[in-house]
Amino acid sequence: MSAAPEALAAFASACASVGDGWVGALMRPSAGVEADTRAMSDDGLVRVSDALAGLARVVESLQARCAAELASRCTGEEGADLARARGFNSPERMIAQSTGRRYSDAVKLVAVGQATASRASFTGGLRPARHPHLAAALEQGAIGVDSAEVIRRFLDGIELRADRERLDDAEAFLVERAPAVGADGLARLVKHLEAHLDPDGVKPREDVLRARRELRIWEDASGMVNLRGALDPVNGASLKAAIDGLVGAELRRARDARRTGFGAIPGAGGAEGAHGADDVFDEQRSIGQMNADALADLARHALGCAAVPTLRQVTVVARVDADALASGVGHGTIDGIEQPVSVETVRELLISAGIAPLYIGTGCAKLELGRSVRLFTPAQKIALAERDGRCAWPGCRRPPSHTEAHHVAWWTRDDGPTDLDNGILLCSHHHHRIHNDGWRIFIRDGRSWFVPPAHLDPEQRPRPGNLATERDIGRHLAERRRARSAPHAA
């Protein structure tokens, strides 16, 4: 028998990884799949889940290859259409029936398969796939079809508005980042990449979004007042920042009440104010309910309340390169909003109430406080968001408004200073994980790195933390440009 094709070899290897991982994960003899999973160690169960995910990606890659070939054999001509000969009006319908999945999933398989398949040349040979980086990652099982479709759709949509080299750089960047951010994260990244590759299109796209804004309010039969609407990035940023500020204050108050023992029941054990906090002070509302209450609070304030309750100073932060702001060419971003905005909009925001620029440099906000102050200032947190973008924990999507500034070298344990180089943004959950689980952090080349404790990873391999999307894209594209020019420079 001849050697297996490379794709089938990858499939066999993935199957072997699942089998080996499954057997190695069992802590005691068992019978049956469900009993096996219950008999697995924690680490073993995670390894098996990862191996199964890898196998699924390889299977999807093979399905995409077959789907593209099936589509090529459906010409619509009598006697030369594989799908119609079997009673289907399209290859996608036939694939959906075969896989038992939705029609849209079948369309995705065909589209990804065609975009990553070799093409016939006029001379009868084979040309590379339209998207070679994507094809390689798919074949290796590094990404799944969902992520591949996000990348394909973006590349095909912007192909006529960007030169080939920049498009190749964008493809390589998305393929590199896909395993870490997944399909949802890619959808956010392509918004910023589109602004880089097609800066002239930012304002028209923004105008389209603004034209689509709407809000409907009605009372239903049960008496509930319903809201349904959509806001453009600028108006949405103001509303989101205000609601996030109110909800964040409520969550902090509930947390601090539990931490300090406020409301402790006398005689319940321990000193009052230190132990035995009353559970009545726990926050019982869901985040959705808190959002609704915050919006109602804002409405009541607008109708004449003296002050917005518990709302700390909240600023909508717009970021833009100084050269772009001066020239009018380029784009900007708003913290907490993924959609880029035009320079014209940033200029409008700079003179709006509650929205202000932060200038960092000589004679401006002091950002290095050493040991003179323990807590990071609002100006420092805004500056940290320029590097981290959001909670710096790998893969966390919490925006800057939901984070706290943490001392990399701890204030008490390590005598760490309250300086930017010693600061990092973390949401409350991941802030506590750092303190409780024994993770270490270090900053290198303007990026955070997280080192897990030995009980989670015996090798303690550093994991790269999140980086602000704009910086992540800019760094990658600059590295690609340098790599291309290096041979010429030599």
3-state secondary structure of 53: helix
- The average pLDDT across 358-370 equals 49
The domains of the chain are located at 6-202, 363-490
CA pair distance 356, 364, nearest whole angstrom? 14
Numbers of helices and strands, H then E, in the chain: 17, 12
**CA 217, CA 367: separation in Å to the nearest integer?**
45
pLDDT in tens, 300-325: 777 765 555 544 455 678 888 878 88
Distant-in-sequence contacts of 48-56, Cβ < 8 A, 24+ apart: 48/18, 48/21, 48/22, 50/21, 51/14, 51/17, 51/18, 51/21, 51/22, 52/18, 54/14, 54/17, 54/141, 55/11, 55/14, 55/15, 55/17, 55/18, 55/141, 56/144
The two structure tokens encoding residue 57:
């990606």
Element (H, E) at 230: strand 225-230
Closest by CA to 343, choosing from 232, 231, 200, 475, is: 200
pLDDT digits 0-9 by tens, 386-423: 888 889 998 888 888 788 889 998 887 788 888 888 89
Per-residue confidence (pLDDT) for residue 375, from 0 to 100: 80
Poorest-confidence range of 157-166, 365-374, 382-391?
365-374
* Sequence letter at residue 29: P
pLDDT tens digits, one per residue of 37-60: 989 998 889 999 999 999 999 999
pLDDT above 70 (res 276): no
CB 51 within 8 A of CB 45: no
Predicted pLDDT at 7: 65
Task: Note whether 147 and 178 are within 8 A (CB).
Answer: yes
Q: What is the mean pLDDT of the chain?
A: 82
* Higher-pLDDT residue of 412, 276: 412
Question: Distance between terminal CA atoms of the chain?
Answer: 48
* Inter-residue contact 339 to 345 (CB < 8 Å): no
Do 373 and 418 meet the contact criterion of CB atoms below 8 Å apart? yes
The two structure tokens encoding residue 76: 């619509």
Residues 329-363: tens digit of each pLDDT: 888 888 878 888 888 888 887 766 555 455 444 44
DSSP string, 412-476: TTS---SBGGGEEEEEHHHHHHHHHH--EEEEETTEEEEE--TTT-TT---EEPP--HHHHHHHH
Residue 269 CB coordination number (10 Å) = 8
Model confidence pLDDT, tens digit, residues 434-452:
888 889 999 888 889 999 9
**Res. 373: pLDDT tops 70:** no
Whole-number pLDDT of residue 153: 94
The residue written with tokens 């772009």 in the block is 324
DSSP states along 189-222 = HHHHHHHHH-GGGHHHHHHHHHHT-EEEEEE-TT
Grouping H, G, I as helix, E, B as strand and the rest as coil, residue 95 is: helix
pLDDT tens per residue across span 96-144: 999 999 999 999 999 999 999 987 777 767 788 899 999 999 988 899 9
pLDDT at 469 over 90: no
Evaluate whether 424 touches 409 at the Cβ level (below 8 Å).
no
Is the pLDDT at 240 greater than 80, yes or no? Answer: yes
Asked whether residue 490 carries a pLDDT value surpassing 50, the answer given is no
Q: 311-320: b or e for each residue (b if 16 or more CB lie within 10 Å)?
A: beebebbbbb
Q: What is the pLDDT of residue 180?
A: 84
- pLDDT confidence of residue 417: 86
pLDDT, mean of residues 240-269: 70
In the predicted model, is pLDDT for residue 367 greater than 60? no
Sign of the alpha-carbon dihedral angle for 180, 183, 188, 190: positive
Where on the phi/psi map is residue 8: left (φ > 0), alpha (ψ -120 to 50), or beta?
A: alpha
Asked whether residue 166 carries a pLDDT value surpassing 60, the answer given is yes
Res 269: pLDDT: 47
Banded model confidence at residue 146, pLDDT cuts 50, 70, 90: very high
| Between residues 390 and 77, the one the model is more confident about | 390
Burial environment of residue 28 by CB neighbours within 10 A (0 to 12, 13 to 18, 19 or more): exposed
